[in-house]
């Protein structure tokens, strides 16, 4: 068994799910697990408008960023520094 990660706590985590509302809904347990594992981190989701409505009120998230399909590259460029 591998030893736990030794780099220290994460400051920011970005979960990217561009579309498919069902996939976004199924990822909500993972968001809860990330929040439990890293309670002090800033947790965000980058997704499209329809899927964003599914998670916009999720208690584990600090921020939900929504983008239009036409602006996918620009949205990714803004979030690359995340």
Where residue 33 sits, what CATH number does that domain have? 3.40.50.2000
Q: Is residue 24 part of a domain?
A: yes
Task: Reply yes or no on whether the pLDDT at 5 is more than 50.
Answer: no
Q: Please tell me the total count of domains within the chain.
A: 1
Task: Reply yes or no on whether the pLDDT at 80 is more than 70.
Answer: no
Q: Is residue 40 part of a domain?
A: yes
What band does 75 get if pLDDT is binned at 50, 70 and 90? low
Q: Taking residues 30-41, report their average pLDDT.
A: 92
Q: What is the pTM of this model?
A: 0.70
Helix %, strand %, coil % of the chain (to 5): 40, 20, 40
Task: Reply yes or no on whether the pLDDT at 3 is more than 50.
Answer: no
Q: Is residue 57 part of a domain?
A: yes
The residue segments making up the domain with residue 61 are 12-75
Q: Is residue 82 part of a domain?
A: no
Q: Is residue 3 part of a domain?
A: no
Q: Is residue 4 part of a domain?
A: no
Comparing CA positions, the residue from 24, 15, 16 lying closest to residue 42 is 15
């Amino acid at each position: 068994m591998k030893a736990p990660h030794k780099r220290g706590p994460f400051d920011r985590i970005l979960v990217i799910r561009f579309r498919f509302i069902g996939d976004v809904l199924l990822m909500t347990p993972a968001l809860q697990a990330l929040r439990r594992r890293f309670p002090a981190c800033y947790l965000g989701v980058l997704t499209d408008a329809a899927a964003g409505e599914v998670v916009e009120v999720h208690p584990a998230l600090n921020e939900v960023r929504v983008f239009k399909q036409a602006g996918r590259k620009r949205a990714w460029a803004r979030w690359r520094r995340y």
